[in-house]
Amino acid sequence: MIASAEPPAWVSRLRGQRWYAWPWHYLLLAAWAARWFQVEAPGGSHSWHLFTVAAQLLWGGHPAGFPAPGGLHLYASYPRFQFGPVTVLAAAVLRLAGPGQGLVATQVLLTGCGLVIIGLAERIARLARPDADPDRIRWTVLAAGIVFLPAWEILAVSFMHLDDVLALLFAMLAVRTLIAGNAAATGVLLALSGGAKPWAYAFLALLLAFPSTGLRWRGLIWAAVITVLIWAPFLIAAPDTWAVTRFAIPNRADSGLRALGVSTPATPWWDRGAQLLAGLGLSALAVRRGRWPAVLLIGVAVRTGLDPFDWPYYDASLVTGALLWDVAGPRRPAPAWTFAAAAMFWGWTAVAGQSVLAGDLRVAFALAAAGYTILAPAAVPKLPLATWRVWVQWSEGWRFSPHFTPRNPNTP
C-alpha cells in the first residue's frame, strides 16, 4: 500500500477554517509571553540600574557612587560597562518612559522585541524558502516560540539586559535586509548590533552572503562608517577607552573556559578577541557553505562556550540563533535546535552543583552547533546562487530585488 501524500482529514478541515489564515499563532505566543512576564517581573530588573547610570553619566550626571568623569570619558572611567554607546543612548531615552527610570515600560518593550524577533524569523523563512510549506514554517515558529519566550523573558524582564536585546534585534533586522538585497542597510544594522554589544560584531560574516563583491564591499563600508561614528568620539576624547576591552570578570568554575582548561581566576587578556575571531571565522565558513541562517547561532554559541561566566540570560541569544536556523536552514523546518538550546539551559541549571559537567555542556553545545550547521545537509539556497535583478527607479533611488530562482545545476 502506498502512503497518501494528502494530510489527514482533520488537518484539511482545520486549514479550511476562515480563522486559520489569520496570524492566530502570534496571539498564543503573546499570551505565553505575558504569562512569563508575570513570572519574571517580581524581583526582576537585576541589571537595569547599570544602563540608567551609564545614561546619566554620558550626559554629564554623577549618580551616587560614580564620581569619575562621564561624558565621552565614560568607558575610560568605567570599563565595567561592557555594552556599547548604542545601548547607552537607548537607555537614555527609555529611562524617561515612566516611573522607576522607565522600568516597567522598558520591560514591556523588551518583551515585545522578543515577539518581533519571532515574527522576523518567520518572514525571513518565507522569503528565503518559497518552496517550503508555509504551514510547516508556522507550526515550527509556534513550537520554537513556546520554548524561546521563557528564555527571552529571563533576558528582557528578569535581568533587563538591554544590550543583548538590541544586539539580537538589530542582527535579525540585518538578516531581513540581507534577504531584501539592501547591502547598505545590512551594514548599518550590523554596526548597530555590534555598537550595542561588541561580541555581536561576529555577525558581520553575514555580509559575505551577498552575491557580488560590490554588494559585500558596500555593506562593509557602511558598517565601518557607522562603527567609526559610534566609537571614534570616545576614543578621541579618551584614548583609555580601549581599557573596556581588558576588563576582567571572574572565571567561574562552571564556565566554558574552565572546561577548556583555562584556570586563570579572571578573564584572560585574549578571551574577548578569541570570542570575536572564532565566531567570525566559523560564521564566515558557514556562509561559504551556504549556511547563512547559521551565523547568529554560531556567533552566540562560540561566545557562550568561551565566556568566563554563566549568566542565565545567555540562553536567550542561543535560542534566538537556533530559531533562525530552525525555520530557514534545514531541509525541513523543525524546532530541533531551539529545543536543544533550551534543553542546554535547563541542563546546566540542573547540574549547577557539578561545575565541570556544566562547563562541558557549554563547550559541547558550541561545538555541536558549529559543526552541524556547517557540515550537515541544508536546503536553504546560497544567496549567491539566486537570481538577483538590479534596476534604478528614479523616484526612489537604487533598489535591489531578489528573486530566489535557483540556478540550473547543469550550468557551470
For residue 21, tell me if it sits in a domain: no
Provide the pLDDT for residue 389.
Answer: 37
For residue 347, tell me if it sits in a domain: yes
Provide the pLDDT for residue 403.
Answer: 37
Domain that holds residue 55: 44-387
For residue 129, tell me if it sits in a domain: yes
Report the distance separating Cα 172 and Cα 193, nearest Å: 9
Provide the pLDDT for residue 132.
Answer: 85
Number of helices (H) and strands (E) in the chain: give both, helices first.
16, 2
Give, rounded to a whole angstrom, the gap between the first and last alpha carbons of the chain. Answer: 41
DSSP-assigned letters across all residues of 360-409: HHHHHHHHHHHHHHHHS---SPPGGGSEEEEEEETTTEEEEEEE--PPPT
Provide the pLDDT for residue 278.
Answer: 96
For residue 331, tell me if it sits in a domain: yes
What's the predicted TM-score (pTM) here?
A: 0.88
Provide the pLDDT for residue 8.
Answer: 56
Provide the pLDDT for residue 379.
Answer: 62
For residue 403, tell me if it sits in a domain: no
Burial class of residue 217 in the structure, from the number of CB atoms within 10 Å of its CB (0-12 exposed, 13-18 middle, 19+ buried):
middle
Provide the pLDDT for residue 43.
Answer: 85
Provide the pLDDT for residue 381.
Answer: 55
Contact 198, 229 (CB under 8 A): no
Q: How many other CB atoms are there within 10 angstroms of residue 115's CB atom? A: 18
Provide the pLDDT for residue 387.
Answer: 34
Which residues of the chain are modeled with pLDDT < 70?
Answer: 1-21, 347-355, 379-412
For residue 188, tell me if it sits in a domain: yes
Number of domains in the chain: 1
Provide the pLDDT for residue 65.
Answer: 85
375, 377, 382, 387: CA torsion to nearest 10: 160
For residue 20, tell me if it sits in a domain: no
Provide the pLDDT for residue 404.
Answer: 38
For residue 400, tell me if it sits in a domain: no
